[in-house]
């Protein structure tokens, strides 16, 4: 086959992956998106050549779906997309090797295990960027994946890989004459997938609800403050005034919780001194005026360590004092101590710098990052206040794409997911829309309602089935007031997390170990012979 034809197959896979991704309505294309690349694996014998075409596919997919990162960081976008595409090639490289050496069946198994292992690593290491986890593709169709309460997005990734392999086998069987039996069997297997998905979802909707009907309402504030202007110290008081004014317009006697977005309280302050900070006086005046209300807000805080650097992320001030700065959340209620949580899942390159890339700190600083990065919490935390039925999960922006991490809030007692974010850095692109859709998956996995406060939009209320019930549009100063119920109990996924990924990763390691043992054995026999 000519190079142009091979390149065409590579481009076709990239196009199908892009066309299936949220917020496109062509989601079902994901079940055939990898098939052209699988054809390439059969047509190309040289590993290096196949690696090149694979890189072209995933690079174009990454560019097509996450190009909007460029709006906040040009150099960072190039580095993120280039590196992410390289990592995505590794499972396919392994597939090509194993299929060629051990045959098609072991090759198929290796692709599934290696890809699942890659996604699990990408969810947990220092350069974590799981935006394109395959299971996220169904975010715009929560009716298709109500079973995520058992599997999380890992189940979706597994289904997609199996579906693509079945369609590959179908395409191969169709080219063989007198192969009616195989064609029929494969068609039945493929048809059974959507039937089983639909059947499970219908059974879910028939289950008794565990909702506790609300006695109060929640107010979600969307201030619509330009993120590229909000760091100006002269506008801090104006931003607080806008937030409190919108809150005053929205609250009533039944309001129990008010949510502000990520870094709404932008002036970095020591946690113990926020109540005495001059710019924050209107915040406490608002809370004191409404003693039955708890305010949940994003905030910037810091912690001093003196002359000793106590953490890897600590920075040194001009007067020689080491300190950590935090992208944090605070819960404020009259006559009760304020509660704080520091964001744990930080954006690589901008909010954190992997320790093995410390030598590149000056480069990252130039495109908006920091040499030391933000400090962070080691685990999630929940906010519970006296006389408040809502036990909140203070999920900050990027954290909402991590299913197992979000489920840890529910393990600790959260009965509602409260997401505070600022997607305005990306402009009016697919980025903020995808981020909203991903929150729907978190609702299904945990069976918790979601209250999402986004600085520039889209703020939303999402029920425990992933249905968006109310929103406020992009680039609009507004609020949502909604009587959100709480949900009790824990789903299978909340209890056991990413068990599918962990099992696949273990099997992948065993498969690689078996392969290495076979290679050593063969070399030994050759030498002996």
Note whether 356 and 454 are same-domain residues: yes
Dihedral Cα 262, 266, 271, 274, nearest 10 deg: -120
Quote the pLDDT of residue 425.
Answer: 87
Shared domain check, 346 and 296? yes
Q: 343 and 396 in contact (C-beta within 8 Å)?
A: yes
Tokens of 184: 């029929």
224 shares a domain with 125? no
Whether 449 contacts 428, CB under 8 Å: no
Residue of 260, 262, 264 whose CA lies nearest to 279: 264
Angstrom distances, CA of residue 285 to CA of 209, 246, 301: 39, 14, 20
pLDDT grade for 154, boundaries at 50, 70 and 90: very high
Q: How would you write 432-467 as a 3-class SS string?
A: HHHHHHHHHHHHHHHCCCEEEEECCCCEEEECCCCC
The answer to whether the bond into 227 is cis (omega within 30° of 0) is no
Residue 186 and residue 222 in one domain = no
Would you say residue 49 has pLDDT above 80?
Answer: yes
pLDDT at 245: 97
Structural domain of residue 25, as residue ranges?
3-207+498-528
Say what the pLDDT of residue 234 is. Answer: 57
For residues 420 and 394, the answer to whether their CB atoms sit within 8 Å is yes
Q: How far apart are CA 324 and CA 336, in angstroms?
A: 26
Do 161 and 310 lie in one domain? The reply is no
Q: 389-429, pLDDT tens digit by residue?
A: 999 999 999 999 999 999 999 999 999 999 999 998 888 99
Each residue of 296-336: pLDDT tens digit? 999 999 999 998 888 888 888 888 899 999 999 999 999 99
Strand, coil or helix: 128: coil
Which residues make Cβ contacts (< 8 Å) with residue 408, sequence separation at least 6?
379, 380
Answer yes or no: is pLDDT of 363 > 60.
no
449-469 burial, b if ≥16 CB within 10 A, otherwise e? bbbbbbbbbbbbbbbbbbebe
How much of the chain exceeds pLDDT 70, in percent?
93
Q: What is the mean pLDDT of the chain?
A: 90
Pairing between β-strand 416-421 and β-strand 450-454 as defined by DSSP bridges: parallel
Instruction: Mark whether 295 and 203 lie in a shared domain.
Output: no
pLDDT for residue 301: 95
Q: How much is the pTM?
A: 0.92
Task: Supply the CATH number for residue 220's domain.
Answer: 3.60.110.10
> Domain check: are 50 and 93 in the same one?
yes
Domain match, 375 and 407 both: yes
Q: Residues 32, 160: one domain?
A: yes
Least confident of 215-229, 239-253, 341-355: 341-355
Helices of type H across 103-179: 104-124, 148-151, 153-174
For the residues 201-220, what does the mean pLDDT come to?
79
Mean pLDDT for the stretch of residues 342-371? 64
Reported as a pLDDT band with limits 50, 70 and 90, residue 367 is very low
Q: How confident is the model at residue 364 (pLDDT cuts 50, 70, 90)?
A: very low
Pairing relationship of beta strands 392-396 and 416-421 according to DSSP bridges:
parallel
What is the tally of structural domains in the chain?
2
Half-sphere exposure of 383 (CA within 13 A, CB side): 28
DSSP class of 477 = -
For position 514, what pLDDT does the model report? 94
Q: Are residues 518 and 392 both part of a single domain?
A: no
Same domain, 333 and 480: yes
Same domain membership, residue 472 and residue 382:
yes
């Amino acid at each position: 086959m000519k190079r142009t034809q091979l390149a065409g197959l590579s481009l076709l896979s990239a196009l199908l992956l892009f066309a299936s991704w949220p917020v496109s309505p062509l989601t079902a294309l994901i079940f055939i998106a990898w098939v052209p690349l699988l054809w390439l694996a059969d047509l190309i014998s040289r590993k290096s050549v196949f690696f090149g075409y694979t890189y072209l596919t995933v690079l174009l997919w990454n560019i097509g779906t996450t190009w909007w990162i460029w709006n906040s960081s040009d150099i960072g976008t190039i580095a993120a997309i280039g590196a992410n595409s390289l990592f995505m090639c590794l499972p396919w490289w392994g597939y090509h090797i194993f299929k060629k050496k051990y045959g098609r069946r072991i090759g198929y198994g290796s692709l599934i295990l290696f890809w699942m292992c890659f996604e699990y690593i990408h969810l947990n290491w220092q350069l974590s960027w799981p935006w394109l986890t395959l299971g996220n593709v169904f975010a715009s169709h929560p009716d298709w994946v109500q079973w995520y309460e058992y599997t999380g997005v890992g189940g979706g990734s597994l289904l997609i890989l199996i579906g693509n392999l079945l369609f590959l086998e179908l395409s191969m069987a169709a080219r063989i004459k007198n192969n009616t039996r195989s064609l029929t069997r494969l068609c039945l297997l493929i048809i059974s997938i959507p039937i089983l998905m639909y059947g499970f979802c219908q059974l879910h909707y028939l289950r008794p609800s565990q909702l506790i009907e609300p006695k109060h309402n929640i107010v979600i504030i969307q201030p619509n403050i330009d993120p590229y202007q909000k760091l100006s110290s002269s506008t801090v008081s104006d931003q607080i005034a806008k937030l409190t004014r919108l809150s005053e317009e929205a609250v009533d006697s039944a309001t129990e919780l008010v949510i502000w977005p990520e870094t709404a309280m932008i002036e970095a302050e020591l946690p113990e001194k926020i109540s005495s900070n001059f710019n924050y006086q209107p915040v406490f005046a608002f809370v004191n005026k409404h003693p039955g209300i708890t305010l949940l807000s994003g905030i910037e805080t810091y912690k001093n360590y003196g002359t000793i650097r106590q953490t890897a992320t600590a920075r040194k001030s001009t007067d020689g004092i080491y300190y950590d700065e935090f992208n944090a959340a605070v819960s404020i209620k009259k006559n009760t101590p304020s509660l704080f949580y520091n964001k744990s899942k930080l954006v690589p390159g901008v909010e954190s710098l992997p320790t093995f890339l410390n030598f590149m700190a000056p480069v990252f600083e130039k495109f908006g990052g920091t040499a030391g990065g933000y400090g962070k919490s080691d685990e999630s935390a929940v906010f519970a206040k006296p006389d408040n039925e809502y036990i909140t999960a203070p999920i900050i922006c990027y954290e909402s794409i991590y299913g197992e991490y979000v489920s840890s809030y529910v393990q600790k007692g959260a009965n509602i997911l409260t997401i505070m974010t600022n997607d305005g850095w990306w402009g009016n692109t697919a980025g903020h829309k995808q981020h909203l859709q991903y929150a729907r998956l978190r609702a299904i996995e945990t069976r918790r309602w979601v209250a999402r406060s986004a600085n520039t939009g889209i703020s939303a209320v999402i029920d425990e089935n992933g249905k968006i019930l109310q929103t406020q549009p992009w680039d609009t100063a507004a609020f949502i007031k909604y009587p959100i119920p709480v949900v009790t109990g824990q789903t299978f996924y909340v209890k056991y997390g990413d068990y599918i990924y962990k099992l696949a990763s273990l099997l992948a390691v065993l498969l690689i170990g078996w392969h290495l043992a076979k290679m050593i054995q063969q070399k030994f026999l050759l030498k002996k012979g």
